[in-house]
Amino acid sequence: MAVLELTNISKHFGAIHAVSDVSFAIEPGEVVGLMGDNGAGKSTLVKMIAGNYRPSEGSMKMDGAELVLHKPVDARRHGIEIVHQDLALCDNLTAAANVFLGRELRKGVWPLAVLDYATMYRRSGEIFKELKSETRPRDLVKQMSGGQRQAVAIARTMLSEAKIVLMDEPTAAISVRQVAEVLNLIRELRSKGIAVVLISHRMPDVFTVADRVIVMRRGRKVADKQIARSSPEEVTGLITGAIEQVA
Amino acid sequence: MAVTLDQTIAHKQHTWLSRLLNAQTFWVLLAVILACIYLSFATDSFATTKNLYNITRNVTFVAIIALGMTLVIITGGIDLSVGSVLCLCSMVLGVTMHAGYSIEVGIAAAIATALIVGAFNGVLIAYLGFPPFVVTLGMLSIARSLAMVASGNTVVFEFGPDHDKLLSLGGGAWLFGIANPVLYMIILALLTGFVLRWTKFGRHVYAIGGNEHAATLTGVPVKPIKVAVYMISALSAGIAGIIQTGWLGAITTNIGAGLELQVIAAAVIGGANLAGGVGTAFGALVGAALIEIIRNSLGLLGINAFWQGTFIGGAIVLAVMFDRIRNFRQSE
Ligand SMILES: Nc1ncnc2c1ncn2[C@@H]1O[C@H](COP(=O)(O)OP(=O)(O)O)[C@@H](O)[C@H]1O
Ligand SMILES: [Mg+2]
């Protein structure tokens, strides 16, 4: 059964139709590349799955049950994690504080439950090690390189056992070696049965790691194919509009 | 020996010493201490029990409000209404008690007033997207005008049956001869410091100031927290108003006029960054202390009081200059 199923999802911002009538389903352990030009509606689509926006129309199902998300916390509770395009980091906080932002660990009992710094530093350190990133949990994000910032954003998705991980351009600002790490991470997620939606402008990324590619143009889904049955040329044509639509 | 990934991750980049030397608060504290030492030797009247009692008590009104202001500034906001809110809350307290109600009722009314004003500011700013500067500038005008309406613009100096209780609350010294306002200040500062460092709320206050958009995306309840922060700011002004009423024993409709600038100065000197994301409770106290020391010392040294503004303004610029120099060094 599909872990996530979208049916006729649309999102309007006033007169702007950012996403129009998009439907698709994702199986557990499937990696879906989501491609499209700037402004095609990719970020808006994954933000709806992550609970940042409510769809204007349409419905979502998770494991066959209706899924209604009012805020990001709801999505996380259902096992949906996201790496935002702009990474959504607070420069004035430490790496660990950013990893746990919005779900800080506490110890003790209310009203004396205090932030559990020790455990948050330790857990973040473990995750950075897993990501093979030289990122120190106690450092301020302000002082970090592009790759380290990316690691902090990705580390968030590894705090709990997710069912779906959404990655909005996770390889846009990092070095070649780090891109390889991210792609390895995606493969690892897949082997654990976690579904991944990878938004990327980099054709090679999608064609090396994805099982399926979905192409969006001006808010609409114009293609949804197995990678093996498509080609970079076809996808490029679909993105630009040279190819109108494929089944 | 090769440095492993484990070692890199476990490495602490900052020792406590480098962190200390990097903190603006530390340098301001040093300035306060040096000024105190200098004044003890240079004047006969500085290090007297009476003068120290006066200084510590005078610091408290600015310091208590600066604690609330620091929270607002950390979120990247500003609250210009605190001086007027202090006046309004004092007046509500005074008028209520003057009408024959007990001190408990009077304080409850004053605190309720503060919370309502703060909630009004907060809702306009957080939910309707008004700029904090504009909303609180409006409230600066509204609150003082309401205080005039409440009192008929008269001086209130008779506080009904609990008159003496109120005066001892603000003017007494219940513990080891320390002025009561100082005790309240210490308790409130510890509370604020605790909240900022050890609670989820405090962490979220910093996150909002650092990157409000990121805080929203990660599910931080940004709007309720902003409302809470403006309520805390107004509450701190209300508490200062209650204490000041008890200390002065009389309320006029111009108490607290211009206080907002001193409070903001104290917060900024203490290291709060008006761009948001940075500030501490301890810094607010240290900033307030420096301002009071400057005021006090000019009098003792026989310098014309007209110079006060120049020195306080100089202190603001100097304190922030340390911060700039440090940033220049880091960005190179
Ligand atoms: N919060 C918003 N308010 C108004 N318009 C938005 C908002 N977010 C996105 N849009 C618009 O929706 C369209 C799709 O944007 P987006 O989803 O970011 O595209 P992509 O991620 O594919 O580049 C764009 O026209 C964009 O300007
Ligand atoms: Mg995008």
Is the model's pLDDT at A52 over the cut of 50? yes
Best residue for ligand 1 mutational test, from A12, A34, A43, A166 (most atoms within 8 Å of Cβ): A43
- Is the CB of residue B56 less than 8 Å from the CB of residue B247? no
Report residue A51's pLDDT band, with 50, 70 and 90 as the boundaries. very high
A101·B218 Cβ contact <8 A: yes
Which structural domains are found in chain A, ordered by start? Answer: 4-90+162-240 (3.40.50.300)
Query: What secondary structure does DSSP assign to B144-178, as a single string?
Result: HHHHHHHHTT--B---GGGHHHHHHHHH---BTTB
Report residue B1's pLDDT band, with 50, 70 and 90 as the boundaries. very low
- Is the CB of residue B262 less than 8 Å from the CB of residue B67? no
∠ CA(A71), CA(A76), CA(A79), 5° rounding?
140
pLDDT digits (tens, 9 = 90+) for B5-52: 777 777 766 667 777 766 788 888 998 999 999 999 888 888 888 888
CA neighbor of B217 nearest in space, from A55, A53, A144? A53
Among the ranges A21-25, A108-112, A175-179, B155-159, which has the highest mean pLDDT value?
Answer: A21-25
**pLDDT for the residue numbered B89:** 97
Question: How far is A123 from A115, CA to CA, in rounded Å?
Answer: 14
Domain ranges of chain B: 60-257
Residue bearing the CA closest to ligand 1, atom 18: A43
For residue A38, what are the CA distances in angstroms to A42, A179, B244? 8, 21, 59
Measured in degrees and rounded to the nearest 5, phi and psi for residue B219 equal 90, 15
**pLDDT for the residue numbered B304:** 87
Is the model's pLDDT at B332 over the cut of 60? no
Question: How far is B218 from A72, CA to CA, in rounded Å?
Answer: 6
Best residue for ligand 1 mutational test, from A13, A37, A84 (most atoms within 8 Å of Cβ): A13
Q: What's the whole-number mean pLDDT along residues A25-33?
A: 95
Chains A and B form CB pairs within 8 A to the count of: 87
Question: Complex ipTM, two decimals?
Answer: 0.89
pLDDT digits (tens, 9 = 90+) for A142-170: 988 888 888 899 899 999 889 999 999 88
- Is the CB of residue B37 less than 8 Å from the CB of residue B208? no
Give the type of residue at B105: V
CA neighbor of B126 nearest in space, from B223, B14, B37? B223
- Which tokens is B235 given? 């509450």
For residue B213, what are the CA distances in angstroms to A86, A123, B205, B208? 10, 25, 13, 8
Among the ranges A160-174, B231-245, B285-299, which has the highest mean pLDDT value?
Answer: B231-245
Is the model's pLDDT at B153 over the cut of 90? no
| Ligand 2 centroid, distance to B247 Cα (angstroms) | 59
Residue bearing the CA closest to ligand 1, atom 26: A39
Å between B58 CA and nearest CA of chain A: 32
A-chain CB neighbours of B198 within 8 Å are 114-115
Q: What's the whole-number mean pLDDT along residues B310-332?
A: 77
Question: How far is A196 from A164, CA to CA, in rounded Å?
Answer: 6
Question: How far is B125 from B135, CA to CA, in rounded Å?
Answer: 7
- Is the CB of residue B23 less than 8 Å from the CB of residue B278? no
Least confident piece of the model among A10-14, B152-156, B218-222, B238-242 = B152-156
pLDDT digits (tens, 9 = 90+) for B78-128: 999 999 999 999 999 999 999 999 999 999 999 999 999 999 999 999 999
Is the model's pLDDT at A218 over the cut of 60? yes
Share of chain B above pLDDT 70, in %: 95
